A = this chain, B = another copy of it.
């Protein structure tokens, strides 16, 4: 059983362990989940670690109630998280939409496995990336992060909480079976060096606290149940008092702010590694565990004298369209390797506006895409 202690030293841990420890480092105090391969270890670790620090763990009766409990706990002031995989992620969608609508900070970990349906429960995939954006009904704001190593999983988990609290939005952390289960060498940062953000509170708490106040930032200041301000939270469209409204002006005002909230801070949120070479004609756009194979392939290609620009987003939603566009403008062909049938390639193609030809390299049999495959694809289009 992994424990949060002495992070100084070198350790060999899995992505699921790093996620659990990152969550605690970020201030996690409530976890509700329902077991599912390949995410279960996150719950297992937290069932032991949380009570040790006075936090709460509960295994709910299903994924729907897990998501519900997470929202309830967050509204009561506890940083909250749940973890699941494809089938459970589908079930959580309705309540994820509620969190988006009611602007409740929370983190949803989806350890991607082979789909659709029960699919390939023990094999890796990246095929839930579009669902992470569009899984629930209605236009809604969402943030999705996707690390590519055990070490990053720790940092991204912390960041998931920070973004969630800062923007009052559910944040989805996309892992895959490989990162979740691989043991890697890591040196985790010391507790005191980890920056954690708390939800923005109103500067002056007057009796007429407005839970959905329109402020310059578009992010309403937030306090918790039980702090003496008895406000109302609903999944219906509401005005700044938090109560339902059917007034067109109010509806527009609210829904526009709700979605604008993320759009306007896209540059803050988006994180992308861009590695450009002078007059490269080939671009590679890769994310998650696939981006590691891609990075190696790019190194090899360059060794072979092929100039390649490499772009690797750590955030998929909001989509890094500027960076994708820049890559398209700087190259004539972009290779997008991914463990699905081209979900993100489609977004890159959208962002490219025809400036560069998108070449897909897809794998859907549960095996990670290895560097050689990517190198071959690069050489083919070079």
Contacts and interface: CB of A to CB of B under 8 A. Distances in A.
Interface of A: 64, 86-87, 89-91, 93-94, 97-98, 100-102, 112, 114-121, 123, 125, 127-128, 130-131, 133-140, 234-237, 246, 248, 251-252, 255-256, 259, 340-341, 343, 346, 349-350, 352-355, 364-367
Contacts of A93: 90-91, 93, 135
Counting every copy of the chain, the complex holds 2
**Interface residues of A, dominant DSSP:** mixed
Contact of A237 (B102, B120, B340): B120
A346 B138 CA distance: 15
A137 B252 CA distance: 31
A86 B136 CA distance: 8
A91 B87 CA distance: 11
A357 B31 CA distance: 46
Nearest to A342: B139
27 contacts: A86-B137, A89-B137, A91-B91, A91-B94, A93-B93, A98-B116, A101-B115, A101-B118, A115-B136, A115-B138, A116-B136, A117-B138, A118-B234, A118-B235, A118-B236, A119-B235, A120-B236, A123-B246, A125-B138, A127-B137, A130-B133, A133-B134, A139-B340, A139-B341, A248-B366, A252-B365, A346-B350
A116 B137 contact: yes
A119 to B, nearest CB: 6
Given A341-B139, A350-B346, A251 B90 contact: no
Contacts of A256: 364
A355 B355 CA distance: 10
A340 B256 CA distance: 11
Contact of A139 (B98, B235, B350, B364): B364
Interface centre among A115, A125, A135, A367 (most CB of B within 10 A): A115
Contacts of A259: 341
Given A87-B137, A119-B101, A350-B350, A364 B114 contact: no
